[in-house]
Chains A and B, each alone.
Chain A
């Protein structure tokens, strides 16, 4: 059997397109459709309410709080993981004994299941028996054990744990790029008398711009829509409403209050915010990157 290249090409790509179309693109469109209905999550009945769900959200204080918490959470984790990630990549790009071992170990937090990361940190941060409080007390940094999962500190704990879990992604992306910067550039800068800091600002950073453009974009999308880390962190402890971000709120409306239409509307709002933010981001930085 001989197929023309045109037909063979389409035949081979069509399974991928069918799966992506029916299981990713269609659900997203169906989600937009659902957001115009009042629908129970289990039962088939549904009632068209137009923009009703969206209008309800405008006056829903919990929705606005979740937008606020979601912004606090994503902005601070993104900034921190980018800074920590670049610093760590610079260190791992230096020559030292055991470098490959450290490079491998640094990626662990990103590879392990989120549920393990969260449970592990809940144990380390346990207010009574946790190692972190013990060490802080021992070093005299605090006088009394801190309740890390309590309402005053849970957002801080969540942010720090998330940075710990996701900064390796930044490390790996930046490190891959650092290895391709021609050493000549550094030598030239040295000849010109640039200090180490000057070389970082004038040689390294410009070379990293294009990779940082992509990394910041991807990390922002994933942090803004992060569900499992936040949700698992919120389980037990009673302070869950202090880290109720937008994805968690969408989940709660759908699977705890069974309001699938309203839940979808929240997801759509999230999607819309992302699309707008991405467009702005591209407009601001894309031309300079030449991507």
Chain B
């Protein structure tokens, strides 16, 4: 669309709308960060201060000293990373198969996968929980990793399939006629080209696993096995709410997501066109 100058009426409207949008989305985060650095006394002053007049790390000290926050953090990292690795190995092989080999029922499989993409967690958790208890792996990280892998697989497959489709078949055929085996062609020709797609898909999977609440709530009962979202939610519900500590925890959970997000922003629009993410 045409450039609208700052001084035209249209330009003015656009700038004000953009400012409003920025305020609505960023201000809550600013407030969380500001609260997490305020001493307890200042959190409850009226009228509120926008910036802490005296910066303090006391909220973070309480978070690390008096709660299991670090354990939850470690659990979240372990569970999310394992789910990503497992999902990516399975989904890359699957997407490669769906785009490079012709076999009976291929299109049917693709549409089945698209259909399961629409399953919401609440439709699965009840029977999933009963089954997990039957197998006897309730309250383990394995159960969580299985849940996330299953849950992330449909959209990962769908996304990677779109990325693989955009890589010209000719490149691979050239490598094959040059005498490279299929596996070598895959490793040296296809995977490097598909890397942006694989990275973007991994990040979406990671964020989904990292942000999940319902599966942890249901599958994990021991406090030392909980991941961050349930850990923080329980801290919040425990006693008198320590807003400073809760806000500092909320900020720390958000950091990895934001870092990853900035890291993949380049690939985001492309991935989105192919139907990324769920939630």
Contact = CB atoms under 8 A, between A and B. Distances in A.
Interface of A: 5-6, 8-13, 15-17, 19-20, 23-28, 30-31, 34, 39, 41-42, 44, 87-88, 91-96, 98-99, 102, 104-116, 119-121, 123-124, 129, 131, 134, 138, 164, 166, 168-169, 172-173, 175-176, 179, 183, 186, 196, 214, 218, 221-222, 225-228, 231-232, 235-236, 247, 250-251, 254-255, 260, 263-264, 267, 270-271
B122 A227 contact: yes
A102 B22 contact: yes
Q: Which secondary structure characterizes the binding site on chain B?
A: helix
B21 A106 contact: yes
B97 A116 contact: no
Contacts of A120: 28-29, 31-32, 247, 250
A96 B11 contact: yes
Interface in B143-173: 146-147, 149-151, 153-154, 157
Contact of A20 (B14, B116, B279): B116
B122 A247 contact: yes
A129 B48 contact: yes
Given A23-B150, A24-B124, A108-B26, A96 B18 contact: yes
Given A114-B211, A129-B44, A30 B130 contact: yes
Given A31-B126, A95-B3, A105-B25, A16 B91 contact: yes
Interface of B: 1-4, 6, 10-11, 14-15, 17-18, 21-22, 24-26, 28-29, 31-32, 35, 43-44, 46-48, 90-91, 93-94, 96-98, 100-104, 106, 109, 112-113, 116, 118-131, 133-134, 146-147, 149-151, 153-154, 157, 182, 207, 210-211, 213-214, 218, 228-230, 232-233, 236-237, 243, 246-247, 250, 253-254, 257-258, 261-262, 265, 268-269, 272-273, 275, 277-279
A134 B257 contact: no
Given A123-B243, A123-B247, A267 B123 contact: yes
Given A104-B265, A225-B120, A235 B237 contact: yes
B269 A20 contact: no
Contacts of A11: 97
B150 A10 contact: no
17 contacts: A8-B101, A9-B100, A10-B103, A11-B97, A13-B94, A13-B97, A27-B128, A44-B134, A91-B14, A102-B22, A105-B26, A114-B213, A119-B250, A168-B25, A250-B122, A260-B126, A260-B130
A113 B28 contact: no
A134 B103 CA distance: 64
Contacts of B254: 112-113, 116
Given A5-B101, A228-B213, 19 more contacts: A5-B102, A15-B90, A15-B93, A16-B93, A26-B131, A27-B128, A30-B127, A41-B129, A108-B29, A112-B211, A114-B229, A115-B250, A119-B232, A119-B236, A123-B31, A235-B236, A255-B218, A260-B130, A271-B123
A111 B123 contact: no
A221 B120 contact: yes
A207 B63 CA distance: 50
B257 A112 contact: yes
Nearest to A266: B126
A256 to B, nearest CB: 12
B48 A27 contact: no
Contacts of A270: 122-123
A124 B124 contact: no
Contacts of A94: 1, 4, 14
